[in-house]
Chain A
């Protein structure tokens, strides 16, 4: 029993240490060199929000690294003249700033595409469950004992159920087809905007020397 607690404590300790190390690495790469720990956390939070917004807008990693580096340098310089809260307030919302800066750097928004595809999958699974429940309730109402009922739904879904002698469905199944991937694929394409790969080339930034 004691050894189990040791293992649990060791696991929890490892998780905490890994989390702390990850946070420290993230913090060090986003913080601006400003006086005071709280100010550093505030500025790091702003830079993270800015980087996040740039990522959602489809700005590439290397470009984001350059832009966040520039912002950190500007925050550090501004913090010598005014408190960090005032500096950040003058910059406005991190999202708006990112939108302004990324206006002509936008590439495909793979993150938004993935999120939209996942949302479509979740919605589709929820709709399938709802249809399955409705189907089972209908089978129990209208089918004769030992009768197998099969129904085709949109996107290649097929529901099948066999009624037992107690008035309950004794066997049920649903099968899907590759057509069920259409909705997530369309959502992915619409939201990730891959056509920007072509349009962005015209607006490639001047490389920093």
Chain B
């Protein structure tokens, strides 16, 4: 994957996390790993954990603890109805934005 501007990624982190959690409930580090596997290698824990905390505070995500044999209980995140709405809204906004950007940049090229 080409290098992506970290500032650009920060703006997308909410959409990405809501999408991943809606696919499968998971805990913080596992979400980081899934992002990396999806090609977002530059997405550091220092960006993901605060974003998860913000989404939890905003009640877009709910949490529950699952005991772990590797240490303290893991905090799993699941999407709330408000989170589903936010995900739909953000997806639509993103699709609209990428459409506009593509239209502009590719329209200029042709």
A103 on the B face (CB < 8 A): yes
Q: Are A208 and B27 in contact (CB under 8 A)?
A: no
Known: A103-B54, A208-B63. A73 touches B45 (CB 8 A): no
A17 on the B face (CB < 8 A): no
Q: Which of A96, A101, A209 has the most CB of B within 10 A?
A: A101
Main SS of the interface on chain B? mixed
B24 on the A face (CB < 8 A): no
Q: Measured between C-beta atoms, what is the minimum distance from B33 to chain A in Å? A: 7
Query: Which of A77-85, A129-137, A143-151, A154-162 is found at the contact surface with chain B?
Result: A77-85
Q: Measured between C-beta atoms, what is the minimum distance from A6 to chain B in Å? A: 44
B101 on the A face (CB < 8 A): no
Rounded to whole angstroms, the CA-CA distance of A125 and B34 in the bound complex is 58
Q: Are B59 and A70 in contact (CB under 8 A)?
A: no
Count of A interface residues, CB-CB < 8 Å? 33
Interface string of A12-33 (1 = CB under 8 A from B): 0000000000000000000011
Interface string of B22-41 (1 = CB under 8 A from A): 00000111101100000000
Rounded to whole angstroms, the CA-CA distance of A77 and B30 in the bound complex is 8
Known: A103-B54, A203-B57, A206-B62. A73 touches B46 (CB 8 A): no
Q: Are A73 and B68 in contact (CB under 8 A)?
A: yes
7 A-B residue pairings within 8 Å (CB atoms): A69-B72, A72-B71, A76-B71, A76-B72, A77-B27, A91-B46, A208-B75
**Interface positions of A from 125 to 183, Cβ below 8 Å from B:** none
Interface string of A190-209 (1 = CB under 8 A from B): 00000000000001011011
Give the chain B neighbours of A66 by CB distance below 8 A: 75
Count of B interface residues, CB-CB < 8 Å? 30
**The one of B44, B61, B63, B72 that contacts A72, using a Cβ cutoff of 8 Å:** B72
Known: A206-B62, A208-B75. A70 touches B28 (CB 8 A): yes
Give the chain A neighbours of B61 by CB distance below 8 A: 206
Known: A78-B29, A100-B53, A208-B75. A90 touches B46 (CB 8 A): yes
Beyond the given pairs A32-B72, A77-B74, 4 more chain A to chain B contacts, judged by CB atoms under 8 angstroms and listed by A's residue number, are A33-B70, A92-B45, A206-B57, A206-B62
A60 on the B face (CB < 8 A): no
**The one of A74, A81, A203 that contacts B28, using a Cβ cutoff of 8 Å:** A74
Rounded to whole angstroms, the CA-CA distance of A58 and B53 in the bound complex is 16
B49 on the A face (CB < 8 A): yes
Give the chain B neighbours of A91 by CB distance below 8 A: 44-46, 49
A100: nearest residue on chain B (CB-CB)?
A: B50
